[in-house]
Structure 1
Amino acid sequence: MLDVRRMQVLRAVISSGSITAAARNLGYTPSAISQQLSTLEKEAGTELLERIGRGVRATPAGILLSEHAEVMSAQLSKAESALTELKEGRTGRLAIRYFATAGAALVPPAVAAIRREFPGIRLDLKLIEPAPPLRDVESGDADVAIVVFPQRDQPANGIQLVHLLNDPYRVVLPRTHRLARKRILDLAELAEESWISTEGPPGPCRDIMLNACGAAGFAPNFAVESEDYQTAQGFVAAGLGVSLIPELGLGTPHPGVVVRKLRRPEPVRSIHAAVAAHARDQPALLRLLEVMREASAATR
């Protein structure tokens, strides 16, 4: 197999016109250059240089290898430059997974900042619901996922959890409801109500809601199952029940409902970025988290 470094030495000798001149330019001794050329000729299986007076001249095989050495040197330089940009976070891929309400409030401004400040980064964005986005980080398919905690299972080793914000639940009532005039409700006041469910499959959001109701001494009576926050508000406006919706999921409240704070207890979902170990020092990812924190502060 031909050695690239020896091919570059051959190119230097041909360009300089002599072994002595090439040795001087490269900072080697002439004997070291001669040894490199001798080894390269053995690898090539043919003569690469012929002596002309005190100098040398390339054979057709020597010219061929010299030309390829020039191309390979240029490619190597490009590879080194690309590697530097990758290590410094100016190029590469950033895979982001998120759930719907986080996608609407936190992800868009952060992605806009990355595209503006790191144009060489390729973004892989994917909404993951109802399955937890954390699985893609654990499997290596994503660098970061926006997730809700606490969860029943802790993340795999090596995954760092970065807190972004606490997202409190609010009670959504029909505008004509008997409790609509109160500014803050005790959760226990909703014990006898019919409920509109907004959390379909088992998961952290449903657990947070059910655990809060349990702490208030009751289990909610679900009259309607709805996995969409806006649709749930429509059912509430129609007088079919009350609902708990996190602040990030409220959007523009339905005109037929009122939104009130809760206490004793106040259900809160804690939203984190789950970051893969290999990506935690990536400049683009650090900037992504910074902008998401800024966006979360703006929602308060």
Structure 2
Amino acid sequence: MLDVRRMQVLRAVVTSGSVTAAAANLGYTPSAVSQQIAALEKEAGIALLERFGRGVRPTAAGLLLTEHAALIGRQVAEAETALADLRAGRTGQVAVRYFATAGADLVAPALARFRSEHPGVRVDLRIAEGARPDPEADVTLVVRGRGARVGEGLRLVHLADDPYRAVLPKGHRLADRRLVDLTELADEPWVGSERPGPCLDAVLEACAAAGFSPDIAVECEEYATAQGFVAAGLGISLVPLMGLGSRHPNVVVRRLRGPEPVRSIHAAVRESSLALPPVRGLLTALQEAWSATSATRPAPRPTAKAAP
């Protein structure tokens, strides 16, 4: 096998016309250059240089390898430039997986900002399948409790706390309240909006802290459908803010306390991807997108009755 470094030494000799000049250009001794050429000729099995006047000139084989050495040199230079662009975050690809309700308020504004800051980076964005991190993705949005752990080679980065709101039918006894105590919903029939998993766990843990277990009268596992059941008077429901992008006209939404259920949204990030500037930039954009969205949400409108 031909040694690429020795081919570059040959190229220097051919370009300069002598071993001595090549040695001076490379910072080698003439003896070291001659040894490299001799070793390359042994690898090639043919003479590469011949004496010409006071210098040397390439044989047909030497000229052939010199041309390939020049090509390799250009390819290496291009590779170094591409690598520098990748390290600096100017190029590359980031694979992101997200769950549907995080799309509008979190992923969309974050991605818009990210593309303006990293126009040369391609984002492979797809809906996550299931609640587990995608091992092929750089970043997977997941709901996890504080202190939760993920698999080997992954790290959790907190992005947002998404509070749940009480969804009540219009005309409900608590509909005129701006703030509802969770215990006031203990005896109500509930419309379940979550499938088993960390989101449902956040609701059940808050109810347990308030001293009761909710009576699930209807199960639907989908936020828009849950609002439809509530509007029909079949019960009340709890839906996170990110799930309330489209509100049914016959429901009212109220804040909760005592305690306020919250689902904690994290990015499960591959450890090997954390050092990449685009990944760090995307995480920052996701965190700041939710802060900006929360800051611009209109405050609940005051009603005739003040909160207790």
Aligned pair in 2 of structure 1 residues 26, 214: CA closer, same or farther (>3 Å)?
closer
Q: In structure 2, what is the Cα distance between the partners aligned to 1:103 and 1:10?
A: 57
Q: Which residue of 2 aligns with 1:166?
A: 161
Structure 1 unaligned spans of 5+ = none
Structure 2 residue 114 is the aligned partner of structure 1 residue 88:
no
Contact 1:99 1:146 in 2 (8 A): yes
Quote the RMSD (CA, aligned, Å).
Answer: 1.9
- TM-score, normalised to structure 2, is 0.89
Q: Which residue of 1 aligns with 2:131?
A: 132
1:252 to 246, 253, 257: 246
Paired amino acid for 2:204: L
1:273 to 258, 267, 271: 267
* TM-fit CA distance, 1:153: 5.9
Contact 1:197 1:224 in 2 (8 A): yes
Partner secondary structure for residue 106 of structure 1: helix
Bigger CA drift: 51-60 or 62-71? 51-60
Structure 2 residue 182 is the aligned partner of structure 1 residue 187:
yes
Q: How many aligned positions are there?
A: 294
Partner secondary structure for residue 254 of structure 2: strand
Partner secondary structure for residue 11 of structure 1: helix
* TM-fit CA distance, 1:277: 1.6
Contact 2:192 2:216 in 1 (8 A): yes
- TM-score, normalised to structure 1, is 0.91
* TM-fit CA distance, 1:272: 2.0
Contact 1:197 1:243 in 2 (8 A): yes
Q: In structure 2, what is the Cα distance between the partners aligned to 1:152 and 1:99?
A: 21
2:149 to 148, 151, 154: 154
Contact 1:152 1:204 in 2 (8 A): no
Contact 1:93 1:124 in 2 (8 A): yes
Q: Which residue of 2 aligns with 1:118?
A: 118
Contact 2:7 2:69 in 1 (8 A): yes
Structure 2 residue 210 is the aligned partner of structure 1 residue 211:
no
Partner secondary structure for residue 84 of structure 1: helix
Partner secondary structure for residue 299 of structure 1: helix
* TM-fit CA distance, 1:93: 2.3
Bigger CA drift: 37-46 or 281-290? 281-290
Structure 2 residue 257 is the aligned partner of structure 1 residue 263:
yes
Q: In structure 1, what is the Cα distance between the partners aligned to 2:219 and 2:166?
A: 16
Q: In structure 1, what is the Cα distance between the partners aligned to 2:202 and 2:84?
A: 45
Partner secondary structure for residue 217 of structure 1: coil
Structure 2 residue 13 is the aligned partner of structure 1 residue 19:
no
Q: Which residue of 2 aligns with 1:239?
A: 233
Bigger CA drift: 268-277 or 37-46? 268-277
Paired amino acid for 1:132: A
Q: In structure 1, what is the Cα distance between the partners aligned to 2:24 and 2:131?
A: 64
* TM-fit CA distance, 1:34: 1.6
Percent identity of equivalent pairs: 61
